[in-house]
Structure 1
Amino acid sequence: NAVVVGKVTIGDNVLIAPNAYVNFDVPSNSIVIGNPGKIIENRPDATEGYCHNLV
């Protein structure tokens, strides 16, 4: 489980890793890991291979 705290905006195509703690705005196409969370990479295929059965 990840924790997202406060009034933050999560962009499109964002991957938040398990156990990440996010208390900041995350731009689109980002990968966030860690506690405290930090953006390790911005890439257009951030969620490729992770997202299934999208509604």
Structure 2
Amino acid sequence: RINAAARLNGTTYSVLINTLSTKGIEMDRKVLADLAVSSPEGFAALVKQVGLAA
């Protein structure tokens, strides 16, 4: 779920998780998966916020 949403937003799962970790953003993968499904706009905003948006 996370990888599919990440790819829709121009990145990959591994790059997203690595960037979140590097920036000190601690988000549980279960929460990320839920966000990707229940709020695609919110997930896109998160990707944009960490500087990965295409």
TM-score in same-fold range (> 0.5): no
> Between Structure 1 and Structure 2, whose CA radius of gyration is higher?
1
Richer in helix (by share): 2
Q: Structure 2 length normalisation: TM-score?
A: 0.28
- Structure scoring higher RCO (CA < 8 A, sep ≥ 6) equals 2
Richer in strand (by share): 1
Q: Structure 1 length normalisation: TM-score?
A: 0.28
